Chains A and B, each alone.
Chain A
Amino acid sequence: MIDKSQCSGVWVFAEQRNAAIQDVTFELLAKGRELADKRGAKLAAVLFGQGLKAQCAELFAHGADMVYYADAPALATFNSDAYTAQLAALVQQYKPEVLLGGSTIAGRSFFPRVAVRVDTGLASDCTSLDMDAAGLLQAVRPAYAGNVLATLVCPDHRPQMATVRGKAFKKGTPVVGRAGELIEVPAATGEVKTQILETVRDTGNMVNLADADIIVSGGRGIGGPDQFGFIQDLAAELKGAVGASRAAVDAGWISSLHQVGQTGKTVKPKLYIACGISGAIQHLAGMGASDFIIAINKDAAAPIFDIADIGIVGDLFAVVPALTQALKNR
């Protein structure tokens, strides 16, 4: 068992894709700053990549006291083997008390491996974090189809690791020119068996529900693929993304890329408009945390109305086009 008194500092894994630091990193630095201050400790960012010294300044501006930066061709893009070896080696050398990362595809791929390699606990896909007086990280995550909020702690092992959903925290205002200590670390040696042959960026066909501020979703009540046009028109007017319930996806009316819910995407837009969606618990698990929810359904007893800020009981084929029109006239 590790000597906990030897461990200090809050670390944030800084995720870059195509050399761009992801928003979730800035959100975590804002929260990490708060946690580090509570502990009277330093906040560090950990960045892997190639030729990213300029990006280190962004991490300082967002509150990092220091940046551990590993520069190597093998780290240019995410590779689970290489990133696991690199992060585990740094953790073993510098012994942070807390290690946070985004609940992204990369974060969820390699944080569990790092946790096992350095022998500690991990709370994944958290929606809130706090630090108690004794320095025990309280990691809150939804479980049981989003019905329950479970608070996990890691009492005996360090670092206390968590991956956190995007938008769980607000990013701070960057202080341009804020100074910090850049610590360039050597690339870890370790066997990398995974070979990335090609990275295909396919954003034209991607549905970026996770980042959308407004989502208009259709469900079983839409009744067929053609009627999704009403949803698309409203989404276009609002410059939002099109979502769908599992029922609409399973019926083959729209691609699964649009699916919101437990087996689809988890979203947290500023505005979510649910059209013809009854509100099965699995759907609510994926969108219940949205800031403002409008539901349109002809069934006044539909569970979606229980969580809607505005519930319109009526025929969506009349209401949705009327909404689109009213927005055009605004």
Chain B
Amino acid sequence: MHIVVCVKQVPSSIAVKTDPATQTLTCTGSEFLINPFDENALETALVLKDTAAAKVTVLTIGGAQAADVLREALGRGADAAQLISDPAFEGSDAWATGKILATAIQKLGGVDLVLCGKQTFDGDTAQVGPSIAEFLGWSCVAFVRKLTLEGTTLKLERMFEEGYEKIALPLPAVLTVGKEINTPRMASLKGRMAAKRAQLAPVTAAALGLAPESVGAQGARTRLAKMAPVPRKSGGIKVDGSDAAVAAKTVVDKLRELKLV
């Protein structure tokens, strides 16, 4: 079985600053790592590999530094990795991202299962996994919390607001997973050393047979019209809590005044 895991490199924490002169935003992150839910997707693949004969290929789209998350995935036990990288991919929305990844998966050939994190930490769209499925013409179940493989049939539990559903689905398929599904493993020292030596030549738009204008900002179906910092509320009141009973009475009086209680 051949499993593809799609991962994204995201900042570990995000600070946004507005330049008062130009009103442009800069988003800076302290360090970059694998999107947390993508770690669960990778772990799901590695668990399947532990129990069945499976090859695990990890894909990411990004610049040269995105190779770091591929090396981390290789260190944890993935068999192969592809850095999908081209200036033409810049400005891709979820539609274009899905198209690029689906094209790379078709190009690999013989893939049975695609696993993605349920959403990313920075973009938060939760669209890419289902979009990949649609470009491939495969079925997709999102928000999976449990998975077993019986022959070529996946047995899943999918979360929803009021509980969960048990679902059966034949391969090939695309699934998205959340952190409920497992606890990601650490890379082994041996794995880390081997991953360091891995050759990760960029896979370009041309190599995938994608016309530059069909992806990236040009190909995207949505356009960013405006970005603005979130207005934070101000004018809150501070209450001294050193006398808890007095503080509590102040707060409860205020809540009653506002009819919140």
Question: B-facing mask of A33-56, CB < 8 A → 1, else 0?
Answer: 000000000000000000000000
- Determine whether the beta carbon of A142 is less than 8 Å from that of B124: yes
B199 to chain A, nearest CB (A): 33
**Considering the chains assembled together, what is the distance between the CA atoms of A145 and B160 in angstroms?**
23
Residues of B within 8 A of A198 (CB): 165-166
A125-B160 contact, Cβ under 8 Å, with A112-B134, A115-B95, A147-B16: no
Residues of B within 8 A of A80 (CB): 130, 139-142
B-contacting 9-mer, from A5-13, A65-73, A152-160, A177-185: A152-160
Determine the residue in chain B with the shortest Cβ distance to A198. Answer: B166
- Determine whether the beta carbon of A117 is less than 8 Å from that of B134: yes
Determine the residue in chain A with the shortest Cβ distance to B222. Answer: A121
- Determine whether the beta carbon of A197 is less than 8 Å from that of B167: yes
Decide yes or no whether B221 CB sits under 8 A from chain A: yes
- Determine whether the beta carbon of A112 is less than 8 Å from that of B164: no
Please pick, from A111, A200, A271, A281, the residue contacting B164 in the complex, using a CB distance under 8 A.
A200
- Determine whether the beta carbon of B167 is less than 8 Å from that of A196: yes
A196-B124 contact, Cβ under 8 Å, with A288-B230, A330-B261: no
Decide yes or no whether A146 CB sits under 8 A from chain B: yes
Q: Is the interface of A mostly helix, strand, loop or mixed?
A: mixed
**Considering the chains assembled together, what is the distance between the CA atoms of A262 and B179 in angstroms?**
13
**Considering the chains assembled together, what is the distance between the CA atoms of A119 and B221 in angstroms?**
8
**Considering the chains assembled together, what is the distance between the CA atoms of A87 and B149 in angstroms?**
30
B-contacting 9-mer, from A90-98, A217-225, A302-310: A302-310
- Determine whether the beta carbon of A116 is less than 8 Å from that of B98: yes
- Determine whether the beta carbon of B161 is less than 8 Å from that of A104: yes
- Tell me how many residues of B have a C-beta within 8 Å of chain A: 80
A122-B222 contact, Cβ under 8 Å, with A147-B14, A194-B141, A318-B244: yes
- Determine whether the beta carbon of A263 is less than 8 Å from that of B93: no
Determine the residue in chain A with the shortest Cβ distance to B133. Answer: A113
Question: B-facing mask of A291-330, CB < 8 A → 1, else 0?
Answer: 0111010001000011111111111001101110111001
A148-B164 contact, Cβ under 8 Å, with A109-B143, A314-B247: no
Residues of A within 8 A of B224 (CB): 150-152
Question: A-facing mask of B91-128, CB < 8 A → 1, else 0?
Answer: 00111001000000000000000000000011111111
A-contacting 9-mer, from B41-49, B63-71, B74-82, B235-243: B235-243
Residues of A within 8 A of B223 (CB): 152-155
Interface centre among B141, B164, B170, B241 (most CB of A within 10 A): B241
- Determine whether the beta carbon of B163 is less than 8 Å from that of A195: no
B228 to chain A, nearest CB (A): 5
Determine the residue in chain B with the shortest Cβ distance to A81. Answer: B139
Residues of B within 8 A of A202 (CB): 162-164
- Determine whether the beta carbon of B247 is less than 8 Å from that of A312: yes
Decide yes or no whether A256 CB sits under 8 A from chain B: yes
Residues of B within 8 A of A123 (CB): 222
Determine the residue in chain B with the shortest Cβ distance to A201. Answer: B163
Number of A-B contacts (CB under 8 A): 262
Decide yes or no whether B245 CB sits under 8 A from chain A: yes
Decide yes or no whether A108 CB sits under 8 A from chain B: yes
Decide yes or no whether B251 CB sits under 8 A from chain A: yes
- Determine whether the beta carbon of B260 is less than 8 Å from that of A271: yes
B130 to chain A, nearest CB (A): 4
- Determine whether the beta carbon of A309 is less than 8 Å from that of B127: no
Decide yes or no whether B21 CB sits under 8 A from chain A: no
A150-B162 contact, Cβ under 8 Å, with A112-B127, A116-B131, A195-B167: no
**Considering the chains assembled together, what is the distance between the CA atoms of A147 and B258 in angstroms?**
28
Residues of B within 8 A of A175 (CB): none
- Determine whether the beta carbon of A194 is less than 8 Å from that of B167: yes
Residues of A within 8 A of B151 (CB): none
- Determine whether the beta carbon of A124 is less than 8 Å from that of B122: no
Residues of A within 8 A of B169 (CB): 193-195
Decide yes or no whether B20 CB sits under 8 A from chain A: no
**Considering the chains assembled together, what is the distance between the CA atoms of A145 and B11 in angstroms?**
10
A residues in contact (CB < 8 Å) with B: 17-18, 77-78, 80-81, 84, 104-106, 108-113, 115-117, 119-125, 138, 142-157, 193-203, 206, 208, 210, 214, 238, 256, 262-263, 270-271, 280-282, 288, 292-294, 296, 300, 305-315, 318-319, 321-323, 325-327, 330
Instruction: Please name 14 further chain A to chain B contacts, defined as beta carbons within 8 Å, in addition to the given A80-B141, A112-B94, sorted by A numbering.
Output: A109-B130, A147-B27, A148-B27, A150-B226, A151-B225, A151-B227, A154-B223, A293-B236, A300-B238, A312-B247, A322-B247, A323-B248, A326-B249, A326-B252
- 14 contacting pairs across A/B (C-beta < 8 A): A77-B165, A84-B134, A112-B126, A116-B134, A121-B221, A122-B222, A144-B27, A145-B14, A145-B122, A152-B222, A206-B163, A323-B252, A325-B245, A325-B248
